[in-house]
């Protein structure tokens, strides 16, 4: 009996320590979103709140905020988000077709989506995310024009830079990348809301509520 009571007391103490411990704010997003400009905003908040820590979870796969896989997500939203999530719109993400300099010098670049004939393409597709960009390519080019397919965006971008083919990329993320050349204006049908989403249980934490209030407008300013 005494041992059981002691164990219960120790379990209670451990749980109390767990609940009062400072937990990191876990942010998930595509790796490209963790840019120097984004991390500078996080560092600015950290300087004001040195006891608040962060954990970055870079992933293409969508983590489940309601299942506590992360606290905050920076995400493209092509369907209405779960109404239980806290939502803040950051921007409208825009996309276009890009090529590497060596490809442009060898083959030239198309100047509209109607002039893709004769070009080679690389694509991104995987089972755990919507394949919006790959599906757009399939509708606009013949299968033999798609010469490479990747399940990691970084590998697709490397293939574009190497001149293996043209590929679809985010206009804002690529605007400072001098290794890529944009073919034409944005592809309007691919535009999508870029959102900050937070789990309701996480939003109850005062440090997360304060961080979102601080971070969201500053992060949105990057995309203006």
Rg of the Cα trace of the chain? 22
Q: Note the pLDDT tens digit of each residue in 99-124.
A: 999 999 999 999 999 999 999 999 99
Q: Which two tokens stand for residue 110?
A: 């198309």
pLDDT, residue 85, reads 96
Residues 43, 34 contacting (CB under 8 angstroms): no
pLDDT tier, 41 (very low <50, low <70, confident <90, very high otherwise): very high
For residue 20, pLDDT over 50 is answered with no
Q: Which two tokens stand for residue 86?
A: 């806290």
pLDDT tier, 176 (very low <50, low <70, confident <90, very high otherwise): confident
Residues 132 and 147 in one domain: yes
Q: Give the mean pLDDT of 126-150.
A: 94
Q: Where are the alpha helices (DSSP H) in the chain?
A: 2-20, 36-48, 101-107, 132-140, 153-161, 171-174, 200-203, 206-222
Residues 115 and 144 in one domain: yes
**Domain boundaries, position 160:** 95-190
pLDDT tier, 78 (very low <50, low <70, confident <90, very high otherwise): confident
For residue 170, pLDDT over 90 is answered with yes
Is 15 contained in some domain?
Answer: no
CATH number of the CATH domain containing 139: 3.40.190.10
Share the mean pLDDT of the chain.
90
68: left (phi over 0), alpha (psi -120 to 50) or beta: left
Is 10 contained in some domain?
Answer: no
Split into its structural domains, the chain has a count of 2
pLDDT, residue 16, reads 42
């Amino acid at each position: 009996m005494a041992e059981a009571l002691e164990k219960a007391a120790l379990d209670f103490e451990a749980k109390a320590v767990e609940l009062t411990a400072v937990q990191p704010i876990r942010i998930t997003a595509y790796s490209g979103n963790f840019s120097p400009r984004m991390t500078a905003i996080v560092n600015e908040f950290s300087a004001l709140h040195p006891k608040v820590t962060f954990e970055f979870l870079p992933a293409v796969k969508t983590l489940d905020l309601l299942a506590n896989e992360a606290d905050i997500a920076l995400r493209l939203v092509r369907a209405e988000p779960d109404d239980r999530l806290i939502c803040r719109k950051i921007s409208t993400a825009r996309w276009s077709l890009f090529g590497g300099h060596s490809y442009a010098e060898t083959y030239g670049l198309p100047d509209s989506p109607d002039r893709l004939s004769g070009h080679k393409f690389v694509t991104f597709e995987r089972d755990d995310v919507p394949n919006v960009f790959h599906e757009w390519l399939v509708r606009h080019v013949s299968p033999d024009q798609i010469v490479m397919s990747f399940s990691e965006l970084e590998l697709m971008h490397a293939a574009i830079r190497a001149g293996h083919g043209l590929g679809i990329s985010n206009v804002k993320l690529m605007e400072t990348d001098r290794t890529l050349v944009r073919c034409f204006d944005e592809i309007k049908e691919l535009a999508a809301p870029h959102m900050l989403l937070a789990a309701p249980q996480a939003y109850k934490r005062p440090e997360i509520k304060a961080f979102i209030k601080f971070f969201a407008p500053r992060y949105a300013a990057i995309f203006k």
